Each structure stands twice: as structure tokens, then as C-alpha cells.
Amino acid sequence: MLCVVLLRDGGEPIGLFGCSPEWQPYRQAEVGYMLLHRFCGQGYGSEALSDFLLSASFHKIKAMVVEDNQASRRVVLEKTATGWKARCGIIIC
């Protein structure tokens, strides 16, 4: 599944969000997103991932984060994962 991330005001495409479900042996998915650089750090990655997790019925989520990308590590590890860990697991690669 691949979705376009749209600008809140005006609907301009600013990035992509993707999910690759793996139903067996667990209901898990690998997720990822990328944004145009000028839109990074404005909450769009957090919002896209949070919206997905709220509508998802997975037991585990895998996310690969570039080691030096501290902002994305915060999105996955702190902002989004904290509220979601209660019902699922998150694997960070």
C-alpha cells in the first residue's frame, strides 16, 4: 500500500507513506515515509504514522530508520510508538 501525504492546507502532495503487510506468521507490517525536505520537522510524518496505526489491525510494526535521522527516530520511537505499544509491538531496524 502506498499513499500520498498531502499538505494540510491546499492538498499539495508533499511525500509518500507506505505499508507492506505480512500476514503470516504474525499480523505485522513494515512502514515507511518520505517527505520533501522543506516539509520535514512539521509533524507530517508523525501524523501519517499515527493515522495509520489508529486504523491498523496489526500485531507488530517494523520501521527502518536511518541512524543519523534523529527526527524520524523520535517519530517512530517516542511520539508514535509510546501510545501504541500497549496493544502491539514495534520493531525498529
The confidence score (pLDDT) of residue 78 equals: 65
The confidence score (pLDDT) of residue 87 equals: 43
Sheet bearing 2-6, strands edge to edge: 2-6, 13-22, 28-35, 60-63, 89-92
CB-count burial class (<10 Å; 0-12, 13-18, 19+) for 91: exposed
Q: Which of 55, 51, 45, 56 is nearest to 16 (CA)?
A: 45
In the CATH hierarchy, which fold is given to the domain comprising 2-92? Aminopeptidase (3.40.630)
Are 28 and 59 in contact, with CB atoms under 8 Å apart?
A: yes
Q: Could you give the CA distance from residue 38 to residue 58 in angstroms, rounded to a whole number?
A: 31
Q: Which of 53, 2, 65, 3 is nearest to 28 (CA)?
A: 53
The confidence score (pLDDT) of residue 24 equals: 76
Q: What is the pLDDT along the chain (93 residues), one digit of tens a residue?
A: 888 888 878 889 999 988 888 877 777 888 888 899 999 888 888 888 877 777 777 777 777 777 788 887 777 766 665 555 544 444 443
